[in-house]
Amino acid sequence: MPQIRENIAQSELTSDVVNTPIRKRTTDLDHAGGDTGAMQAFASLRDANVVLDGPVGCHVMPAVAVINYTDSIPYLQNVTCSELSENEVTLAGTLGVLKEKVAEATAAGRQVFIVSTPVSELIGATWTTEHAHVKGSALFFDSHSLDDDEWKSRDRALLFLWANRDHYVAPADAVRPPKTRPSVNIVGPTYGCFNSYSDLAEMKRLIAGIGADVNLVYPFEASSYDTARLSDADATVVMYQEFGKSLAREVGLPTFYAPIGLEPTTRFLLDLGRALGLEAEAKAFVALEKKTTLAAWHDIWRSTHSDFFANAPIAIVAPPTYKDGLTYYLGEELGLPISYSAYRTGAESAPSETVRAALSDASPSPMLVFGSINERMIIAQEKLPSRFLQSSFPGAVVRRATGTPYIGYTGAVWLLQCVCETLFDVLFANLPTSAAPPVQATAPTRELMADGAAAGAAGKGANSVIGWTDEAKALTEKTLKRVPFFVRVSVNKKLRAESEKLARERNCDVDEAIVREVTARFSPGSN
């Protein structure tokens, strides 16, 4: 067992998370900054009050506007702000206004976390008072908001909470739950983590399934004074690669990461079971799952649905946990070709322009793109035929029903279901015949026979073959390459029929302009 390092100075606790590089230019940023990440971590604690040391916008933007569209929460009630104005920024400093806000929150019995923002960092504001070492007094967190991304900041905030675990004051009636079974910490969910409600529910289900208890869901369902209790568990599960691993390292228990896909989930359950002395239970749970949760998976897999997989390309643009997880599950286990994948945050993240170029040039175009609103905009602006499933932030989405996990066995079923539904959607959009009501008869049968003289002269009779220019052929080929294989025949038929119809009307060959016109009419981005 690794040693738990006691009484370590917080300055010694280093985060293992690598920042998203700051580029010289940014288009459509895909991650929030350090102040936002820290706020989302601290505010997740039940007894916390975060005081953002900044102008009103630094409070309202993350804690009212954005949170409403990431977590569907009207606003975070335990976040306040020093509301800096010119006076503080240029003259007085922030200590005076901070004191008021801190006093208000402390009076309400809350553990206060003061979080720096770009402006407060610029003017070098900190929180230095004689009460700093009194238990339960306000703590100041330098969020490195000018430099760190939200993930690194969440990671650092969790470390900071741990380093200060003896600082918090528990209410007199706080009870330490008795321990009867092996227990596990879930380190992860904070506000603003995509799909975390569902993923957390699935993780709880998996842990309960092998006969273990959850010690703490940290910080999402804990109070600050619970922090020291993290060491009561027998293992730690970290939900995301993006943050939390440094805390797990410091807590020092056997650490596991939330799995995406069938095999990773099985391995996770067996390994966790082994670490907790619940190996037989874990095996039994896996066996039970195969007959229950995964029965759906097995049925879909055995259906004709899976016949399309090899020809249904996808693209994945997401932070590491989802990007790696989806790449393995959808690419390796289901066998969907991955036409493009990229990290949107972290050390190897791809800037928006790179993603735009890659998605536009992909051949065939991905049938389904897992991404953020940035990818959704690229699909629309570049008129790509791809469907979209939001799988990361930014982008307004509601993911509060807990039935849409990506992790675990339920996640495997939900993702498989999403892929199949997209297949059906693409098929419907490309059905070979869509004339409802049917095309009306405009003439009796006799008149449908070509009028030899007239048709022959123009060469464009109702049923004559229409010529295609080389440019038109080339463009058609290029257009078709963008379309998934399994609907290419339908699209080809439609494109040909519509182009020739136009050519007939205009009494000319099918040229590039006609193909372009027809293509535009059927592109999803054009409506």
Partner 1 sequence: MCPAFGAVRNLLRMEDAMPIVISSGDGCLYGHTFVAHFYVANRPIYSPGVSSEIWAKGSAFDELRGMVHEMAEKHAPSIIPICSLCVSDTVGLPFDLLPKQIGNTEIVYVPLPAYSVHTHARAKDIVVDSLVWRLPPQRKARSGVNLIGEIFPSDPIKIDEVLRKIGTHVNTTVPGPRWSDYVAMVDGAVNAPVHPFYSESVKRMKMKQGLPFVEGAPVGIDGTYRWIRSLAEPLKLDPALVERVAAEERDRAAAAIDQHRLDGLTLMVAGYEGHEFLLVRLLLEAGANVPFLSTAVNANPLAREEEAWLKERGCHVLYGANFADEIAALTDRPFDCVIGTTPLCAHAKELGIPSIYYTNAMATRSMMLAEGAADVLALVEQTVAAKSRYDRIARFFSEDETKLERTYTSWAPKIDITEHLIAHGAV
List the interface residues with partner 1, window 66-95 (CB under 8 A): 66, 68-69, 74-75, 84-86, 88-90
Selected range binding partner 1 among 131-139, 160-168, 281-289, 438-446, rule: CB under 8 A = 281-289
Q: Taking the complex as a whole, how short is the minimal distance between the CB of residue 438 and partner 1, in angstroms?
A: 37
For partner 1, the binding residues in 174-203 under the rule CB under 8 A are: 189, 197-198, 200-201
The residues near 270 (Cβ < 8 Å, ≥ 6 apart) are 279, 282, 283, 286
For partner 1, the binding residues in 92-131 under the rule CB under 8 A are: 117-119, 121-123
Which strands make up the sheet holding 368-371, listed edge to edge?
338-343, 314-318, 368-371, 387-390
What's the CA gap between 320 and 307, in Å, rounded? 29
Selected range binding partner 1 among 164-172, 277-285, 323-331, 428-436, rule: CB under 8 A = 277-285
The residues near 255 (Cβ < 8 Å, ≥ 6 apart) are 235, 236, 237, 238, 245, 248, 249
Cβ closest to partner 1, residue 80 vs residue 422: 80
For partner 1, the binding residues in 375-434 under the rule CB under 8 A are: 377, 380-381, 393-396, 402
For partner 1, the binding residues in 326-365 under the rule CB under 8 A are: 352
Count of positions on this chain that bind partner 1 (CB under 8 A): 78
Q: Taking the complex as a whole, how short is the minimal distance between the CB of residue 367 and partner 1, in angstroms?
A: 21
Asked whether position 34 contacts partner 1 by CB under 8 A, the answer is yes
What's the CA gap between 402 and 391, in Å, rounded? 15
Handedness of CA 28, 34, 39, 41 (dihedral sign): positive
Contact indicator for 344, 392 with CB cutoff of 8 Å: yes
Cα-based distances in Å from 130 to 55, 110, 133, 311: 25, 19, 8, 67
Cβ closest to partner 1, residue 36 vs residue 227: 36
For partner 1, the binding residues in 292-321 under the rule CB under 8 A are: none
What's the CA gap between 293 and 283, in Å, rounded? 15
Selected range binding partner 1 among 124-132, 215-223, 361-369, 454-462, rule: CB under 8 A = 215-223
Contact indicator for 239, 218 with CB cutoff of 8 Å: no
What are the residues facing 341 on neighbouring strands? 316
Cβ closest to partner 1, residue 103 vs residue 208: 208
- As a residue count, the chain comes to 527
Which x/- pattern over 219-238 shows residues binding partner 1 (rule: CB under 8 A)?
A: -xx-----------------
Cβ closest to partner 1, residue 74 vs residue 444: 74
Asked whether position 244 contacts partner 1 by CB under 8 A, the answer is no
Cβ closest to partner 1, residue 388 vs residue 486: 388
Gyration radius of the chain's alpha carbons? 29
Q: Are strands 79-81 and 139-141 parallel, antiparallel or unpaired?
A: unpaired
Contact indicator for 231, 253 with CB cutoff of 8 Å: yes
Cβ closest to partner 1, residue 62 vs residue 364: 62
Q: Which residue has the tokens 């010119």?
A: 86
Q: Are strands 79-81 and 255-257 parallel, antiparallel or unpaired?
A: unpaired
Selected range binding partner 1 among 207-215, 295-303, 357-365, 453-461, rule: CB under 8 A = 207-215
For partner 1, the binding residues in 139-178 under the rule CB under 8 A are: 145-147, 149-150
Q: Taking the complex as a whole, how short is the minimal distance between the CB of residue 188 and partner 1, in angstroms?
A: 12
Cβ closest to partner 1, residue 380 vs residue 420: 380
Q: How far apart are the first and last CA of the chain?
A: 60
How many Cβ atoms are within 10 Å of 9's Cβ, its own excluded?
7
Query: 273: which 2 tokens?
Result: 């079971």
How many Cβ atoms are within 10 Å of 458's Cβ, its own excluded?
10
Cβ closest to partner 1, residue 260 vs residue 330: 260
Q: Taking the complex as a whole, how short is the minimal distance between the CB of residue 509 and partner 1, in angstroms?
A: 35
Q: Taking the complex as a whole, how short is the minimal distance between the CB of residue 480 and partner 1, in angstroms?
A: 26
Asked whether position 371 contacts partner 1 by CB under 8 A, the answer is no
